[in-house]
Amino acid sequence: MEDLSKELTVAQKHGPWTIQELSQKYQNLFVHISEDQVLQPDGNLGRTT
């Protein structure tokens, strides 16, 4: 299986969230699944898909 991870060199703001790392888990012609490590508005770390 090929490595689909993408590196994020600078944290990106997305509304009140800060995306710290992007990780593409799966992709084909119809579906794209990624997981992001984020800094939540309350200051806690989290993950979103």
Domain boundaries, the chain: 4-39
Query: What average pLDDT score do residues 16-34 get?
Result: 93
Look over the chain and give the mean of its residue pLDDT values, rounded to a whole number.
85
Query: What average pLDDT score do residues 34-39 get?
Result: 93
Predicted local confidence at residue 10, as pLDDT: 76
Q: How far apart are CA 28 and CA 6, in angstroms?
A: 16
Higher pLDDT, 42 or 48: 42
* Contact partners, residue 23, CB within 8 Å, separation at least 6: 4, 5, 6, 34, 35, 36, 37
- The token pair at 43 is 């200051």
Neighbours of 41 (CB within 10 A): 10
Band of residue 49 on the pLDDT scale cut at 50, 70, 90: confident
Look at residues 1, 44, 45, 49 and name the one whose alpha carbon lies nearest to residue 24: 49
> Taking 80 as the threshold, does the pLDDT of residue 3 lie above it?
no
> Taking 70 as the threshold, does the pLDDT of residue 2 lie above it?
no
